[in-house]
Structure 1
Amino acid sequence: MSINPLSSSAILQQMADALPTHPQGDTTSDLSSSHEALALFSHTCMASLGFRLLGFDEDKLEEAQCHELAPRLPPNWNASFNTYAFVYAHQQSALRFVIRTDRMGGKAEIRGLGINDERITRVEVTIKDFISNAALPVRITINGDGVEDRSNLPQTLQNVFISGNRIEDLASLIKINIVQKLLPSLQKEGYEESADDRAAREDADEAGRRPPRQPVIPDPLPQPAQPYPYNDPLNPPPRNPVPAGDFPPPGFEDPYDINRPAGIPLRQPARSPFGNIGADDLHPPGLGPHDPLRPGLGIGGGLPRPGGGQGMHPTFDDPLFGGPGGGNGEFDPQVPPGARYDPLGPGGLPRLGGRRPGGGSGPFGGGFGGGFGGFGGGDII
């Protein structure tokens, strides 16, 4: 039965093998801090899955030295402070990969990048949830002959972690969030994909098939001003119903039928003989539709409509004088259609006799007051 390369025992042995050889006379520690232990752990996970170390700077590789010392790390692997970078290659991919571990306060971020792929993967961990600072620093045992003794080094490194389960949990986080997104469908003896791994691979494949996003070019011209609220003729405002309450609003007059519901015809105006007198005087002379002062065809006038005009100078066909709608409707040659009544007569002097407007006469055939002895009315002009 094959061994899982990311099991706790395999990772601890890989970490023990990866620590550089301790020079004689060197009294410094081999693993001094928690974030340094986390960086060594991430490198061990990559090396266990077949990633080959090329160096620590993508612009300055040390492939020959790394290959010569493998599985040991070069002594300068931890030369930087709080930031650790590793450059890898894999036989199942033509890309190069960069794994970087950065410390940020009590947390650490492990990021992965496929060079020329430009997809960054990352996982964030809380250091104290995995690393025990009480077991640090770690130093390789030197026997009496000055030779390194690494026999108990895996057990010493296990004490650096909270527990064996925490080792496998941390390895699973790196596997799912870093390895499977950088190199989907990785083939390694004893290595199996989980459901989360398959989902990560499908996401990576979909991202690779997705066409590049086109940049959005802003419009250099400003947008036209829009009134607020915007009056859309195709979207009339809804008719708000009268709010119900104990005291409904009074019924005001609605001369323009603003509140008239749709489908109900307009109200017809009342036909009173005296109610519309003066209505046509709202139009200037010559501009009204039926100007009683200037009747006739053409601009500014027209034929007198039935029922007379509605100005302050009504004609004799107005119901006020017994015209159509008010008199007997017979033709009177003394009062032709369109004639006006002058109460004083020609020259501004009163006349005796004559007919009153509308064809009627006084008791003596005269005007108002009648006969020769009465005061005659005006004249028809």
Structure 2
Amino acid sequence: MRRIHRTRRDWAADLGLFLFAACFAAVSAQSIPVDESLGPGWRAADQVVGGLGCAAVLLRRRRPVQLAVALLLAGGFAHYLTGPAMVAVFTVAATRPWKATAWVAALAFGPLPLFLWRLPDMPGDRAGSAVTYFALIAGSIGWGLFRRSRRQLIASLRERAELAEADAESRAERARMEAREEIAREMHDVLGHRLSLLSVHAGALEFNPGAPRAEIERAAAVMRESAHLALHDLREVIGVLRAGAGEGPAQDERPQPELADLPRLVAEARAAGGRIALAGPPEGDTPPALVGRTAYRIVQEALTNVRKHAPGADVDVRLTGGPGDGLTVEVRNARPSVPDPARAAAPGAAGGSGQGLIGLAERARLAGGELTALPADGGFRVHAWLPWQS
């Protein structure tokens, strides 16, 4: 016999059903018809069997089907087993599969056709007692089926709640991953730009330590400003990371670059010694914030790559388009005619991993546009189209 672990609630339910069966037998004792020809000992034996049946109710969790079958079969001879039989069939209907419930119900109502055939010839008290018995058994099975359906409904709702919670956690994790990817792109674009400027000037000073004092002071001032701005940008990125833990400014509250900031970006690159021609941005209407910020980042990363991979090359930056036509961004650099040894010696001139261009393509896709970056005429060309709704 398998071991059943009962909680306090289970014990309370079992004792409650045991008392129900015993009280039902006691209350219905006077209404049970007994054949007087059987003698007084028959009622006493019937009561003893009924008491054993009530005690057997405590085993309903171990063998409910076997208990129900035994009580239903014995109930044809012992009238005091009606209460325990009701508890047994209720347990089967509430806890066992539909097939087992159907077999128990068939056994319980098997005598019903014979009863209906003999009903006209039966005494009134016996007919009433039989009708009451079948009605009680039917009610017990119906109540058990209701409890089963209610338990299944609660289990289904609990499962759906758990799935919804898991789905919400999955969406939150995806949102966190997207936020981390956005932060990684910001760090690459912003810090890469600042540190490449710093690297260019440091390489120039290293290559030409005997430069005039004014030129050294100017380079040192640019290096100090670039380092200061890089630290400022780094603090902003760290603030975004802390915002996830309830600290620092939210990402949407951080000041983001706009298309109007593009001339300042080009001026910084020119101050580092780059020869850059800027055409645009288009005058008139201002593009949406996402489009302007994406265009700014594309130009920023393209200029950073020129400093790394083609130091000294001429750069042509063009922005054209307008509402309805979209914004076109093109950054083209030629092959350096005479390589600058000072810039080539700078640490920033080392080859990159290509993650910057991958990040730019992803930025353009998220903004609804597209980006291509390919060699062209011995140099390199970055071309992007971004949607600009009218």
Shorter-chain TM-score bucket reads under 0.3
Between structure 1 and structure 2, the one with the greater Rg is 1
Tell me which protein shows more helix as a share of its residues: 2
- Greater relative contact order (Cα < 8 A, sep 6+): 2
Q: TM-score if structure 2 supplies the norm length? A: 0.17
Q: TM-score if structure 1 supplies the norm length? A: 0.17
